[in-house]
Amino acid sequence: MRSIGMDVHRSFAQVAIWDAGEIADSFRIDMEHDAVVAFGRSLKSDDDVILEATGNTSAIVRLLTPFVNRVVIANPLQVKAIAHARVKTDKVDAKILAQLHAAGFLPEVWAADDDTLHLRRLVSERDATVRSIRRVKSRVQAILHANLVPKYAGHLFGKGGRKWLDKVPLPKSERDLLGRHLDELDWLVHKLEKLEKDLIRISLDDPQARKLMSVAGISSVIATAVIASIGDISRFQTPQKLASYFGLTPRIRQSGERGAIHGRISKQGNATARTMLIEAAWSAASVPGPLRAFFLRIKNRKGANVAAVATARKIANLIWHLLNKDAPYQWARPAFVAMKMRKLELRAGAPKAHGKAGPGRDYWIKELRHREMELVANAEASYAKMVEAWREKPPKPQKN
């Protein structure tokens, strides 16, 4: 079996073929569809192809997989840490990939399937659109600030705020610039609505996403972002490994006889999913339940920001259990979840139903709604009481 390393660039890839303990051949191929397919046809069925994770990795994997035994994706950060060299060229990089795989030291990355890749692209596009909306809003605020316009009391980009912006006294050049920014904002908001509608449809058809949305603080956008990042949950053996994948676990440094030093969170892995989990933590902290009890316990000791990150890690652990087990979330509020799902269906374009009321109507029955709130509030109180029991210290023995 040969190990074939590929150092991939935008327009070409450097190839190194490792066979019987030495480099048998080294050459370049163009990064074009027909050239990659021709390269695949020249390989043997028991070859392993190794390349680092890049922007075009999925396309290369899809084209080469039918011709070889495996296409292995390497973690570029870990490869760099293992095989740092003073001489760094494309030939050396391709050779190192082939050697590490042949020796069994290659840090591999999971290859996502087509559905997961599609979902990741949608989530990434939504995230980029949200960032663009924030930038345009900042530019509008900058125009008002530069022209000494006082702040608007309400929501500047709502209906009232937009009417107010039309009447703001500005020079013609500034008025034209403001109009272009507002036109761009309207286009981006429309694009965001279409993306979110697609994500909502996907989440409603996915049993895993629906289960995650039963947890307080997890919306359809957060559920789809997390599932897109995870892919196959079976590749994480423990909840701690899933939390580490999101970069929510602390860095640890230990050497010699010194004790371990725990630092800030690693922030490795998918930044979008990590941000979404922290957003879910803040939302969960605003409603009664065990997650809020946990948030308040950490907040009293280390502050709100640390508590939000710790709660996000707790939610990541909870997600691992929910996706690996058939049991539903114990502290879900059925009427609230049903209402939440119905609202999502309407946002996704479902027609308004007439006639017999569905399960989403139960939330608007005051008695049922209060009963559910009382249940989760009791769970929060029980958690707080248990924590108080931890803090109680046994009395010190009296000295004679």
Predicted confidence (pLDDT) per residue in 157-179, tens digit? 999 999 999 999 999 999 999 99
Whether 95 shows a pLDDT value over 70: the answer reads yes
* pLDDT for position 7: 93
Whether 400 shows a pLDDT value over 60: the answer reads no
Domain 3-109: CATH class, spelled out: alpha beta
Chain segment 310-330, per-residue pLDDT in tens:
999 999 999 999 999 988 999
Chain segment 59-79, per-residue pLDDT in tens:
999 999 999 999 999 988 788
Q: What is the mean pLDDT of the chain?
A: 90
Pairing of strands 3-8, 48-52: parallel
Whether 14 shows a pLDDT value over 80: the answer reads yes
Q: How far is CA 300 from CA 294, 307, 387, 398, in A?
A: 10, 9, 12, 32
Whether 101 shows a pLDDT value over 60: the answer reads yes
Closest CA to 93 of 51, 153, 143, 155: 51
Chain segment 212-233, per-residue pLDDT in tens:
999 999 999 999 999 999 999 9
Place of tokens 């292995």: 72
Q: Give exposure, 233-252, as e/b (b: 16+ Cβ within 10 Å).
A: eeebeebeebbbbbbbbeee
* pLDDT for position 20: 87
For the chain, how big is the Rg over CA atoms in Å?
A: 27
Sheet order of strands, 70-74 included? 22-30, 12-19, 3-8, 48-52, 70-74, 108-109
